[in-house]
Structure 1
């Protein structure tokens, strides 16, 4: 296990669902913030941590030029995840790619947010 090189102190975070939250976030290591929906993960990170000059946040926002590309797709990070899901479900990995065989019929690899979540 790698030790952090310092901490980012967040004190008294109060935004949306957060009520006076205190947390020390390690620096120099990969940190993942998890929790149930509505628990304040995004409020904590985007409201209290990312406004700092020394913080770079990587999220699932589209990369410029393609509304379907995110850091995870651009770096091929999703490839092993797709393979694992495919193996666990006995299907081909392409089923988990919007622009290939897994696409919604008739959409030709493009969908709008109004189409709702995609069920696989």
Structure 2
């Protein structure tokens, strides 16, 4: 066993002349030399090829049929070798907006990781942001202090440019009477003119209620209706 080193004996791949090398494990190792000295032959065609080949051989025959099998490199012996990963060098176009994440193409994977494994918090109040069922939303609204006036809003546009004429027309056709545009409640019967070059927040006013709400207050069916019209549900106290 070779717990602290990788031992290579008789490496003959390409232009390697039966070399013997000992590489420390758990260290950053640089293989350097002039062009044609065998750097890639040692790192990729010997170390990586053998590590990948051994790993694939440890898989089931069913799994191996989906993975390309690598040929055994020309080497007498390699000890202490773990499954290997190789990242090829490639030219990257320079962009002033590039980051380490975009250049290494790991940015999209990090987005998925943070979305799945992370816990988002509100940047304003610091509270945890989590998905809620329709029943949880109803219970949260019912727990508001008596006499609280609030609106049930369906967000249809957030920080988007445009005049939203079609959005307002569709809302009227769906039976809505009011809409909140940039935190201002407007009647859909009036002509609403917006600057198409500016970003706007558009929310449909689904209902306006007072706690306690009675039999016709917010229920699961009403919450599901809001969700169907929006990308987010936002009961708002005022």
Q: Normalization by structure 1: what TM-score?
A: 0.45
Ranked by relative contact order (alpha carbons within 8 Å, sequence separation 6 or more), the top structure is 2
Task: Tell me which protein shows more strand as a share of its residues.
Answer: 2
Instruction: Mark the structure with the bigger radius of gyration.
Output: 2
